[in-house]
Structure 1
């Protein structure tokens, strides 16, 4: 009997909850009376938009206050704020001209109030702000563009570039989507040298249909380097010190330290990676795991330009699965050093954080992971290092815990670029 009563109480509670949800959402409501419109409306101009302030109608059925405008192309955009808020941001204005915005209230039954039309004049558009921040720089067989997007709106950056190769003029466009406050994007793998000028123009668009005029960024000449041969490279043994720094331990389980310079990448079944086993600094567990250092004798003096690192894939899933790329056990942050013969000490070059790609399928993760992640020795001003025979890769943090944990055990391959020193 007691169990039956409990069931009745539960049924009644569920029925009451369902009824309240229907009332809240206006389900099967016969209410046709529109609410009053918002009142005492003022606005503050924003970059590419406006922030409206108002009094919400004193009506318990009001669900939201909305704003709508139509651009010159006839496309309408609607913005909404709940009845708890007394302000509303509207974006997407492409120019500093007057725009008419209609504000109205909507109730739970879907009725809308009379429209209140407000004429606003925004500050310069969001894409204009992006355009003003564009910066173009040459790289090694590539170039890159930096920009700022302080509003963090979704934008597209169109990089139109032309060059002449084998007597034929080529025109190409690379498109990058972003909503980051600051971003840098590369146009890579250009088979061009310092004597092959590249002309670059850039356009920026937003999700509201606004597009900037092409900005002529001028002509640049790319830098040139080559992949360093690995035949003469040498790795000191684990815990052997060079300049007071111990070589990493990487021979746990199937891993071998020598695999990081053998020219082969881990593709799952071949198990081609180093593995620290959680004791990477020296091989002694009392010394901890990270930071651990891979120290390479290059066999000759080189001026270094960039590095490509390849992560461990996995050994427990198929070739077309993401596996461990950009996550478990792999290195997310590392530092680079070169040995200075003059001072007889290690000299810091730069730090690189490998960003986790967003929105990729499993297959796209595999393609990206196998290609490896490239970084310049000097990312903001690409150039060569001082001539050196010794290079040091210092693994700092894993991807785990938002780049805070010391459990990066694996690395598949290190490839260096530059030129032989005179």
Structure 2
């Protein structure tokens, strides 16, 4: 009886083993290369070319492959699905003719003989954008503006001497917008060179635009000179243990005594507004607002979501905005876009940094400031925040 059971088990194992062997051997390969593409045409694009062609009739065709060598001699490879008859070859650094080899590849990895064509791309975005760059003196540094008509993924790189006197990267601004401007700051008001060049995602770089500039004098305004004002229509700021002077005491805290100011929780639908004196007349350059530093207040509670900053050198005691200039309109943005109460590390990093904004250069000098909350993260107009900072020319 035991012998019979033993023989039966052996037969079953042999059957199972045979099934596995059959399944593994079912994957077949062939050594026949597919036919090449036919009727290739190239449409020039900025820094690229769109190729169209007729596919061969091979039933196991997988994709079309295009290869060219960049300036460094490295193969640049692009693939197009067998579902379509077009393929875009990108990353050309200039308008020089380029040789491109096209192959078809089947499911067994066989590659056809190449079809070699020559393409002449249009001027790439890395060069057209470079031609539009404007560098101007700015508060504590320089402002850079540009036009990127192709909305290409580009990096605008700014260099200036470091502490050793060697040119070093001061900022890299990544963009896919059609037009933008940004600043590099933190330098004394003495002549220094600034260099700007453009780099694309393929590693191509433009020439360097080099200019000698004198940064406009900028200083962080002295918070010991700030004073609270209360005009008709202004909100209370001492709800939940808050007080306006706490927002210029240099402390950015969580929900602890002295956290900042708080206008309350009552919803009236009317924008809440607060007023204070900078203690000095200044041409403002930058503004920063940091909210209470914890998960309960980042992108939550009555932390400001949409608000405005107004300024003037003199004010009407009736509390109206007559004679005031709107310096900034700010929207507090949660990087992840997750619902309230959910956070990523990027959310918390941005929450700690707070809102930072450059005041446009054409704004007038001001002494008195009003912050006007249009909407908080709870949907009403109250506000709570921990610290506010201003920079500018107070001379």
Q: Tell me the distance in 1 between the aligned counterparts of 2:86 and 2:45.
A: 13
- Work out whether 1:414 is the aligned partner of 2:395: no
Equivalent residue, structure 2, for 1:130: 129
Q: Partner of 1:337 in structure 2?
A: 310
Structure 1 residues 70-79 or 220-229, which shifts more?
A: 220-229
Paired with 1:100 and 1:153, the residues of 2 have a C-alpha distance of 23
1:276 deviates by 5.1
SS in 2 for 1:345: coil
Contact 1:337 1:347 in 2 (8 A): yes
Cα distance change, pair 38–331 in 1 and its aligned pair in 2 (3 A): farther
Contact (CA 8 Å) 2:272, 2:383: kept in 1 or not? no
8 Å CA contact retained: 1:306, 1:417: yes
Deviations 1:79-120 (A, max 9, x none): 122223332211111121110111222333333333211100
Say if 1:335 and 1:351, in contact at 8 Å, map to a contact too.
yes
**DSSP 3-state at the match of 1:392:** strand
Structure 2 residue aligned with 1:19: none
1:67 alignment counterpart = 66
Residue number in structure 2 paired with 1:393: 371
Written as runs of structure 1 = structure 2, the 5 A alignment for 1:46-61 is 46-61=45-60
Separation in 2, partners of 1:271, 1:29: 74
Give a deviation string over 1:310-362, Cα, whole Å, max 9, x none. 2332166xxxxxx83xx44544543221236488532223334566669xx98
Give the Cα–Cα distance (whole angstroms) in 2 for the partners of residues 141 and 42 of structure 1.
Answer: 52
Q: Answer whether contact 2:34 2:112 (CA < 8 A) is retained.
A: yes
Matches within 5 A, 1:202-281: 202-216=196-210, 218-236=211-229, 241=232, 246-248=233-235, 253=240, 256-267=243-254, 272-275=259-262, 279=265
Residues 51-75 of structure 1, C-alpha deviation per residue, up to 9 Å, x if partnerless?
1122233344333222111123211
Larger radius of gyration: 2
RMSD: 3.7
Distance 2:381 2:391 in 1: 28
Unaligned stretches of 5+ residues in structure 2: 1-22, 317-321, 337-342
Offset of 1:134 from its aligned partner? 1.4
Residue 207 of structure 2 aligns to a residue whose secondary structure is coil
Q: How has the CA–CA distance of structure 1 residues 271 and 145 changed in structure 2, closer, same or farther, with 3 Å as cutoff?
A: same
Equivalent runs, 1:375-386 vs 2, <5 Å: 375-378=357-360, 382=361, 385-386=364-365
Q: Following the alignment from structure 2 to structure 1, what is the Cα–Cα distance between the partners of residues 221 and 311?
A: 15
Aligned to 1:288: 269
Shift of 1:301: 4.4
Partners of 1:202 and 1:349 in 2: CA distance? 29
The alignment status of 1:32 with 2:12, answered yes or no, reads no
Who is 1:149 aligned against? 148
Paired with 2:197 and 2:394, the residues of 1 have a C-alpha distance of 39
The residue matched to 1:127 in structure 2 has which SS? helix
Maintained 8 Å contact 1:331/1:410: yes
- Of residues 365-374 and 41-50 in structure 1, the stretch that sits farther from structure 2 once superposed is 365-374
**TM-score (structure 2 length as normaliser):** 0.75
Change (3 A) 1:420 1:142: closer
Say whether 1:201 aligns with 2:201. no
Q: Contact 2:40 / 2:51 at 8 angstroms: preserved in 1? A: yes
* Structure 1 SS opposite 2:127: helix
Do the aligned residues in 2 keep the contact of 1:268 with 1:315 (CA within 8 Å)? no
1:10 alignment counterpart: none
Corresponding residue SS for 1:313: coil
2:286 to 306, 314, 318: 306
Partner of residue 159, structure 1: 158
The structure-2 alpha-carbon separation of the partners of 1:340 and 1:174, relative to structure 1 and needing over 3 Å to count, comes to: closer
Q: Using the alignment, how far apart are the partners of 2:107 and 2:236 within structure 1?
A: 65
- The number of equivalent residue pairs is 358
Unaligned runs of 5+ in 1: 1-21, 317-322
TM-score normalised by length of structure 1: 0.71
Q: Is the Cα contact below 8 Å between 1:335 and 1:350 reproduced in 2?
A: yes
CA contact (8 A) 1:54 1:87 kept: yes
